[in-house]
Chain A
């Protein structure tokens, strides 16, 4: 077999091999069962709660959970804004990098708060080490927020009839200390020992083979990259992200980083199976997500490995496939693989330039973000999928002649209203914001010429990708877009905020309302949700609701580009 393909198979196999036991472990954490790390973390957690004066045993209803979540996020958002706009004179700035402008700081802070990590700056020249550290902290907080709120939904799904669903602060601290911290620690050490910098010293100088003297940016890279990959954050230390040789030095680090993207999102599904004691349901959900993921992955890899037809037309051989914008140490298959991993999970780190991918790969990357629930971001990916389950349960419940119910709870008008609003939100944000930018550009192409490196279909794809990435809280970009302008900073910032918090509030509200409803025991007439048939139904709903709405937009972007290339 082609070694490139075997590399990809190996990565997926590694993910599953680690995700299954990790899922069990995460399940135990949320069930407050004993684990072998308790002796280390119990005192640490106690210290946190003692210092903050929070009672981790106080039971909260779903509304209180959301308030707690928003409070934590707001406090740290303000801290991040202050640091980013003042870092030039704050400590840990050996390279003397400047502070950020207001709109860029807003965009950056929002993008890290929302687990998006859309970077309209380059880390090596745009941030001090303090800036990097505060962003690194955010990569923990936003990932921990996602995992914790997902745990709340698990508890809500598990309870027969309950109004209170545990304590958010407790879930949050446990997510950060017991899940993210130990795994990030192991990954960071692996990366640091494989060529990644981990230092607070400033730039180093080196002499290249050509004899030039160049300055090389350094910093606490390994620690930063570990959580960036694990928490589906994706915000790189360096501008080129994991395509940069110091952020992803070898194929081996590429395997670690690539696997880290999927590890927790997939483990969360198995954790759900453990918490709910519904392994079959977990496997059904995993199956649907995997099917969707493969449908995006396989054509992307094929497309990249086949090379670019426009270059073939120039009578230039492409023995390695399409190599534009890719790193030679990874090759087209591993680059396409990463591109799909990073977009389906809302991670957003890159190891190749997505802007240079063939049109179809670009489209599948966008589709992954438009659907945003084939594994999805840590915690929130499951919440997005939960909305699709509710919609699928409703339609299929009617199809079998029974008022729809999910895990013994009736789905009624109120839940449908919330589910529909959340399902609507993503297309609304992506399409409207892209429409505004298209309108601005079309009405005055000369004024906005700086936006698009490639006008035409690809330029449209660049704008569409940017907003899709913002709305999916992904953070990757078609970097041909000149995006560090007030319009893009603020527009993307707003999209990120809405696309982060509303899709958290919606599913939590539904799960909370359902949890307080009366439990209906299963009978022969109850539609089972852990069967392949129901899985197929969910898949169909996703395809029809999430994907079809974007068909016209994709037609004018990547599809038109694809057809005009062949």
Chain B
């Protein structure tokens, strides 16, 4: 999938959305949205009024005026439908580009038979060799392969996937570059995460989220209030001998009910999931995105999230009396065959090419869990490199001293967040190498941002508490779990949850699955095991551990967009009242001219201006609904003040200006 930004309104999308705007006029579909459904009823009534006038009724004003009101109401409906349709279309376009990756591909079954990928069932096993496209999502049960996942992640560097570990999962549509793997299909056709996501965006299985339900109740309540206001106005007007036309009643009603937010509500929800998809995160439900906005605690793995994947050598500390050059040479030699990133970084720091040393008959000693050191033997030299206690044992066994100087150095490095590696030559200690975790650039700022959002960050690491504490402080996380075992994560999550907090975490391994399931928001990496992906409620296609931060912001944006547009919509009522109420009564009660503070041209122009404003504000706000209101971590009260000022006060003032401007134009024609 490409990360290039699709512009808000592409031509094809617009066409599709335009078509859908009319399809969605179907009352059965409309009924899902109580606010807009009442507008539809109003529109139908206005249509009947127009027919009534054509058949000779004279009490309702001119046909043209009534017809225009009808048209504007219809337009209001279409605009609202369009907002939803364009959000869906954008989501669908996004999903389609993902879906392209899962076009029909041949799959070679274990028995050599070749079938189409759509015929693969859960549990089937197929074989992929270099050059093959993987037919569907599955788990490697045998073998190891390098895989190009750029079709999904956009990342061109190939990745290694192998059976058995935490990186055993493969995704349909990705390409095997080398080697041969046996893959077991893990999902039924049409039920992969991607399929679920596409269905969510398309609205087929989109369920309203808890906050959306509560908001719908609020909006339905407002609609009911204004139904009461409008209906009771009829006998009031009769009492005051003030005839009011049906068009005026319906216009008053439509203007007062919160059509702006009512029309944009589902678009905002879809756009939220769409934004998640754009961030290459597949969500299993809209609720998960919403919950992400409420997260209080964020569990982050140290490696890959807070620090750059691996430790790096940063210093050589030769012991007293050891020549530094000699020490460096030994260090480089000991790492000659060490393929680990740590080993490579030692050679990098040494700045030499060890193969230039021309050593004869080298014998490389591999790292084992028992010896906990590695090294090289040549001629009669034995160089060893390893954890402090391992080398200490080695040296002391041969009767050599483990000097106070070395002890001091090792402790100093540990308490500095580093990892000491001790080097010995023929069991004599010659010095220490310092390895340091490299904290990702910019991560401190991100944690600061999270703190301002009110989110507590917790670093999870296998390091000892001393090192963990140092890195935690340096990176600016609030808490850490050191020497973490999988159940530690689980317990931590449970503890926080029992205190009422919502916890998010990211994980990949099968070990992580229970914790992912326990967490309120569990993001599994796409490269992770099937179990992890099943347990979480989101899957990150990029395997990027910092993605959680983005997800939280997307969740907050989603809620904020709803809240601010609701406020805006309701605040608009003030101006609309001042436009329509005088217009209703001014003919019968001329003294009410004093209420016409906008000095609108005539009752008819006032009503038209109000309904026109009410209609066109919807398309004006579609971009905001789709992009979302920007989240600023400035504290809840400051944020409320800011949004109240922009959308509350703005919501009161803008329609005064807008309605007056429209009235100036409308009055040219009537």
Contacts and interface: CB of A to CB of B under 8 A. Distances in A.
Contacts of A441: 239
B665 interface: no
A439 B237 contact: no
A55 interface: no
Contacts of A394: 214-215, 218
Interface in A509-566: 518-521, 523-528, 531, 533-534, 536-537, 540, 544-545, 548-549, 551-553, 555-556, 559-560, 563-564, 566
Given A521-B501, A560-B589, A399 B639 contact: yes
Q: Chain B interface residue count: which class?
A: 35 or more
Given A424-B225, A442-B238, A398 B563 contact: yes
Contacts of A560: 240, 585, 589, 591-592
B595 interface: yes
Interface string A136-147: 000000000000
Contact of B640 (A524, A534, A549): A534
Contacts, number: 208
Contact of B644 (A413, A442, A533): A533
A417 interface: yes
A533 B641 contact: yes
A544 B574 CA distance: 8
Given A397-B563, A555-B592, A563-B594, A431 B637 contact: no
A435 interface: yes
B456 interface: yes
B225 A427 contact: yes
B566 A556 contact: no
A428 B228 CA distance: 6
A226 to B, nearest CB: 39
B581 A555 contact: yes
Interface stretch (B22-30, B341-349, B447-455): B447-455
A100 B271 CA distance: 66
A64 B221 CA distance: 28
B562 A398 contact: yes
A420 B231 CA distance: 19
A438 interface: yes
A411 interface: yes
A463 to B, nearest CB: 8
Contacts of A536: 644
A424 B224 contact: yes
Contacts of B210: 403, 412-413
Contacts of A403: 210-211, 290, 293-294, 559
Given A431-B228, A563-B595, A544 B501 contact: no
A310 to B, nearest CB: 13
Interface in B241-287: 242, 252
B588 to A, nearest CB: 10
A417 B217 contact: yes
A396 interface: yes
Contacts of A436: 235
Given A398-B566, A460-B240, A524-B452, A548 B214 contact: no
A428 B231 CA distance: 11
A144 to B, nearest CB: 32
Interface in A495-512: none
A457 interface: yes
Given A391-B218, A540-B648, A399 B563 contact: yes
A537 B290 CA distance: 23
A525 B217 contact: no
A402 interface: yes
Interface in B608-666: 631, 635-637, 639-641, 643-644, 647-648
B228 A432 contact: yes
Interface string B116-135: 00000000000000000000
Contacts of B418: none
B217 A439 contact: no
B190 to A, nearest CB: 32
Contacts of B573: 544, 548
A525 B453 contact: yes
A538 to B, nearest CB: 12
Contacts of A566: 594
B557 interface: yes
Contacts of A556: 236-237, 239-240, 242, 585
A402 B631 CA distance: 11
B359 interface: no
A552 B576 CA distance: 12
B149 interface: no
B649 to A, nearest CB: 10
A416 interface: yes
B617 to A, nearest CB: 17
Contact of B591 (A435, A528, A563): A563
A524 B293 contact: no
Contacts of A520: 296, 500-501
B656 to A, nearest CB: 15
B577 A424 contact: no
Nearest to B290: A403
Nearest to A414: B214
Nearest to A397: B563
B565 to A, nearest CB: 9
B636 A395 contact: no
B215 A398 contact: yes
Contact of A555 (B296, B555, B595, B641): B595
A527 B641 CA distance: 11
B571 interface: yes
A408 interface: yes
A400 interface: yes
Nearest to A544: B570
Nearest to B641: A533
B560 interface: yes
A53 interface: no
Given A435-B231, A528-B637, A548-B577, A401 B221 contact: no
Nearest to A428: B228
B499 A521 contact: yes
Contacts of A533: 637, 640-641, 644
Contacts of A263: none
A70 B572 CA distance: 41
A539 to B, nearest CB: 11
A402 B293 contact: yes
A439 B235 CA distance: 5
B77 to A, nearest CB: 24
Contacts of B222: 545
A430 to B, nearest CB: 9
A423 interface: yes
A434 interface: yes
Contact of B217 (A399, A420, A526, A563): A420
B251 to A, nearest CB: 13
Contacts of A423: 221, 225
Contacts of A563: 589, 591-595
B557 A401 contact: yes
B455 A523 contact: yes
A559 B592 contact: yes
Given A427-B228, A559-B595, A521 B500 contact: yes
B644 A438 contact: no
B556 A399 contact: no
Interface string B540-574: 00000000000000011111101110110011011
Given A401-B559, A540-B648, 14 more contacts: A398-B564, A401-B560, A412-B210, A420-B220, A434-B236, A438-B239, A439-B235, A439-B239, A442-B239, A536-B644, A553-B232, A553-B233, A555-B595, A563-B589
- CB-CB nearest 3 A-B residue pairs: A525-B454, A398-B563, A401-B556
9 contacts: A401-B556, A411-B214, A427-B229, A435-B235, A438-B236, A526-B454, A556-B242, A559-B592, A564-B591
Interface of A: 391, 394-403, 408, 411-413, 416-417, 420-421, 423-424, 427-428, 431-432, 434-436, 438-439, 441-443, 457, 460, 518-521, 523-528, 531, 533-534, 536-537, 540, 544-545, 548-549, 551-553, 555-556, 559-560, 563-564, 566
